[in-house]
Amino acid sequence: MKKLICFLTLAITLNLSAATLDGITFADKANVEGKELVLNGIGIRKATFLKIKVYYGALYLEAKSKDAASFIAASTPKQIVMHFVREVDAKKLRDAFVEGMEGSNKNHEALKSSLEKFNSFIPDVVKDDLITITFLNDGVTVATKGKTSEKISGTDFSKALLNIWFTNPRDENLRTGLLGL
């Protein structure tokens, strides 16, 4: 009986820790357009040669996957939640999205106006702010500071924006964490 209680306690603890990294906790599930998404993985975005922590990211998918190409190509909803652990001004964030788009997508020029519209919804952030990016088959929304943007339309844009974290990423460790590896 004691062994069973210890095992159950350990199992519950491991389940809870799956959604927590360095004290930053993410929900196990997210709901997008009536579909339940599950937490696929959590990673840390570090910047500069000093490896300064910028944000913790969580990836939500309909079913867990380690195959980025497969879930990016799928028409199912996806979501990335960015939990910031430091202040970052909007210009730096917007520049990072532009650099990420250019570095991970050959067709980035064709998506420039969509990225500009997306970036218009990116504000200055402070510690503990969240940016939630929802990737739909026909576009993207971004939610921050209690406001959700209008949809930035385009299947190509949705897939290209998600590519930033997985195709030629600026932080390979973040990618690894999001994939649950």
Closest CA to 128 of 53, 39, 60, 180: 53
Average pLDDT over residues 155-166: 97
pTM over 0.85: yes
Point out which residues pair with 43 in neighbouring strands: 57
User: C-alpha angle 146/148/152, rounded to 5°?
Assistant: 160
Quickly name the fold that domain 2-178 has. Answer: Chalcone isomerase (3.50.70)
Average pLDDT over residues 79-85: 98
Hey, where are the domains in the chain?
Answer: 2-178
Task: Measure Cα distances from 130 to 66, 83, 116, 169, 174 in Å.
Answer: 24, 5, 20, 20, 16
Please state, for a pLDDT cut of 90, what percent of the chain lies above it: 85
pLDDT in tens, 11-58: 443 444 348 999 999 999 999 999 999 999 999 999 988 899 999 999
